[in-house]
Structure 1
Amino acid sequence: MAAGLIDIKRRIKSVTNTRKITKAMGLVATSKLRKIRLALSVNNKYFESVEKVTNEFLASLDVENDNIYFNNNNSKKKLYIVMASDSGLCGGYNANVVQKLKAEADKMEVKPVIMVVGQRGIPYVRKYHFETIAEYVQISDMPTVKESRIIFEHALRLYKEGEVGEVNIVYTEFMSQVKQEVKTKKFLPLEQGDKKSQGEYLIEPAGSEVVENVLDVYLKAVVQNIMLHSKCSEYSSRMSAMDGASKNANDLLDALNTKFNRIRQTAITQEITEIVSGAQAQN
């Protein structure tokens, strides 16, 4: 009986310590999510402005037919940039992103090549035997312009050199604290917008000469915005996972405390019975 009580006490202590960790991690995730959501809100306004100006700019000129940004090269390979996390304990965040990748890859004749952003995404990608050509890890909690530029320039170089004919990004779009959706965004080649709406811009020098610079700014903004969406989704998933873990720990502690009290009560009753029986035997 005593051995059983000691074992339960150890389990209660272990679960209590675990609950302290999950609560702390949940609070950290909540704090970081608040900061990143603010950054995402600001970036969304910037990205919307860049996207609007870019679309109007492209609508105001005729892009040459041989422009690499709009015309696929001869490569049949597709590049997928997988936005994962560097840290674990975020529920099914990484698994869901890679499952989305696998679902699309299963429909392809040629297996895609993968660029992974986030340490925790690498094992998931390798599990399905995908070829990784780059792995970017230790991304800042608040993704920087420098980090997004490095990823963008690598993907663009592969595309321009004809190693891949299409670039896609698999990421988790942050809609709210309780809703995130895994999506795939086609990064390159771009689709030309509606040419009927002409933007009122005076472009000097000739429009075709500045197309590349404008699109570089736009595509960098796309990567930066997606990285912020991914980080928000990651910390929202981690916060939910830690809240769930804390609730499970509370339920387990309630069950263990009930069991502990029941066993202790049984032991006390047995001791009283033995004492009474001994006293009666002496009389």
Structure 2
Amino acid sequence: MTRRQDLQHRRHSLNEIINILDAMKMLAQMESHHLEQCLQAQHRVVAAILTVANDFLSFYPQTLPESPQATPVYLMIGSERGFCGHFNHALLSEFEQCLQQAEVRPTVLVVGRKLFSLVEDDTLLHARIKGPSVAEDVPAVLEEIVETLMALQQQQPRMTLFGVYHQGEQGILTQQLLPPFQQSLLQQQPHQQQQSHQAQQPPPRFSYPPALNLSPTEFLLGVARQYLFAALHEVLYASLLEENRSRSTHLEGAVRHLEDLSGELAQQLNQLRREEITEEIEVLLLNAGRLEQERAKRR
């Protein structure tokens, strides 16, 4: 009886854990649906800014500065919470490959507490930033990232910012965020060898240049600020969406494993119950036999 009670208690505990994990999985799926909507809207914002920048630079290519040797800064977006499988390990593995190819020792900003403990080389770390848990946390995290970058820029005026993050089916991306517009413009003519900014630009979509109330340089700086703000939103939303998808998949696998264990315990309980019933029947038969013997003696 004691063993069966222990098994019942263990199975009850497993079922409670399964219910908790199911609830966590449901929350992750709901958050994923919400983040998909946020990310789609952010994609449209970034695409609109890039379109404006491309149209502007097709008439004012000289405003795009040259790319001098700069200190690379990597913004690694990990997870704030756990239960997301190899999410952070895959990110760190990709970053280590980037380090092997880097010619200049980079500066690293790590976002997400679960990623903190995995970064062994603390000499590369410039800042640890608490990551978002839900979509509503993104603005606060973004504000801290911007403040950290502004402080870092005072120490390193020339820097190139790269975002290292999960991006759905594309896997882990290393995207250049600063200086902006250079890579996106070059990718529009990948098969041409260009030597100047004028040659790098795609053909203008319009016949006349845009009417500006600012100087071209001031206008480009303003667009660059808007782009960085929108691109960081996009990066954080994309990473958080993939984190919740990974969490949902990981929790689903954990629930299936625990359900299998619960099923095995149920079979053991049934087997023990059958054995107990068999023992009870044997005891009843023995007692019945003794009663018959006593009755026979009395006769």
Superposition TM-score tier, normalisation by shorter sequence: 0.7 to 0.9
Is 2:285 the counterpart of 1:276?
yes
- 1:1-283 aligned at under 5 Å gives the runs 2-63=1-62, 67=65, 70-75=66-71, 78-108=72-102, 110-125=104-119, 127-129=120-122, 131-137=124-130, 139=132, 141-142=134-135, 143-145=137-139, 147-152=141-146, 154-155=148-149, 158-159=152-153, 161-162=155-156, 165-174=159-168, 179=169, 181-190=171-180, 191=182, 193=185, 194-198=200-204, 200=206, 201-280=210-289, 283=293
Structure 1 CA distance for aligned equivalents of residues 77 and 124 of structure 2: 16
Residue 210 of structure 1: CA displacement? Answer: 2.3
What is the CA deviation profile of residues 226-259 of structure 1, one whole-angstrom value per residue up to 9, with x for unaligned ones?
Answer: 1111111111112222222222222111111011
Contact 1:87/1:120 (8 A) holds in 2: yes
Structure 2 CA distance for aligned equivalents of residues 215 and 156 of structure 1: 15
Distance 1:87 1:247, change over 3 A: same
SS in 2 for 1:249: helix
Distance 1:130 1:279, change over 3 A: farther
Contact 1:91/1:238 (8 A) holds in 2: yes
Contact 2:161/2:178 (8 A) holds in 1: yes
Distance 1:275 1:37, change over 3 A: same
Structure 2 CA distance for aligned equivalents of residues 251 and 27 of structure 1: 20
Of the structure 1 ranges 139-148 and 116-125, higher mean CA displacement relative to structure 2 is found in 139-148
Whichever of the two has the greater Rg, that structure is 2
Distance 1:136 1:276, change over 3 A: same
Residue 213 of structure 1: CA displacement? Answer: 1.6
What is the CA deviation profile of residues 17-59 of structure 1, one whole-angstrom value per residue up to 9, with x for unaligned ones?
Answer: 1011101111111222211111111111111111111122222
Distance 1:164 1:93, change over 3 A: farther
Contact 1:26/1:238 (8 A) holds in 2: yes
Structure 2 CA distance for aligned equivalents of residues 23 and 52 of structure 1: 43
Contact 1:152/1:219 (8 A) holds in 2: no
Contact 1:80/1:115 (8 A) holds in 2: yes
Residue 93 of structure 1: CA displacement? Answer: 1.8
Count, aligned residues: 272
TM-score normalised to the size of structure 2? Answer: 0.80
Alignment identity in percent?
A: 21
For residue 233 of structure 2, what is the amino acid of its counterpart?
Q
User: Structure 1 unaligned runs (5+)?
Assistant: none
TM-score normalised to the size of structure 1? Answer: 0.84
Contact 1:80/1:168 (8 A) holds in 2: yes
Contact 1:180/1:233 (8 A) holds in 2: no
Structure 1 CA distance for aligned equivalents of residues 143 and 53 of structure 2: 18
For residue 122 of structure 1, what is the amino acid of its counterpart?
F
Contact 1:159/1:167 (8 A) holds in 2: no
Residue 11 of structure 1: CA displacement? Answer: 1.0
Distance 1:147 1:278, change over 3 A: closer
What is the CA deviation profile of residues 82-140 of structure 1, one whole-angstrom value per residue up to 9, with x for unaligned ones?
Answer: 11122111222222222211222233355432111122221122x35463211221536
Structure 2 CA distance for aligned equivalents of residues 38 and 259 of structure 1: 47
Structure 1 segments of 4 or more deviating over 4 A?
143-146
